[in-house]
A = this chain, B = another copy of it.
Amino acid sequence: MENVKIHTNFGEHLRTLRENAGLTLREVASTISVDSSLLAKIERNQRPPTKQLIKNLASFFHANEKELLTEFLSDQIAYKILDEDGDLNILKVAEEKVSYLKTLHNGNDYDKK
């Protein structure tokens, strides 16, 4: 039913964007001023993109920057979980912590109980 593309990752997403635009690595790389070999590695998830690069890529492909960033960050977290021990519970706990810490209305009192 859903036609959202789940289960992909940042690199594949990027490659799809590029291929849909009918461009080569070199073309994209040169216009956003990044080494094409580096961009190739990023597409294969062998190197992480900088935040600035994500910004540039989003603007180049007219893609949603936040969406791309989410894709990348969730990749990082997923891979981390997987090579630690793969326990999904870690994410549940993390979620509770984020929710809780955010209710601290940006109040800077960290340690205060």
CB pair A101–B73 under 8 Å, yes or no, is: no
CB pair B90–A74 under 8 Å, yes or no, is: yes
Neighbour of A7 across the interface among B66, B81, B89, B100, CB < 8 A: B100
Q: Report which residue of A85, A95, A101 has the largest number of chain B beta carbons within 10 angstroms of its beta carbon.
A: A95
Question: Please, which residues of chain B bring their CB within 8 A of the CB of A93?
Answer: 6, 70-71, 74
How far is A78 from B87 in the complex, measured between Cα atoms in Å? 15
A residues within 8 Å of B by Cβ?
A: 6-7, 9, 44, 66, 69-71, 73-75, 77-78, 80-82, 84-91, 93-102, 111
CB distance from A13 to the nearest CB of B (A): 12
How far is A26 from B98 in the complex, measured between Cα atoms in Å? 32
How far is A102 from B88 in the complex, measured between Cα atoms in Å? 10
Question: Please, which residues of chain B bring their CB within 8 A of the CB of A90?
Answer: 70, 73-74, 77
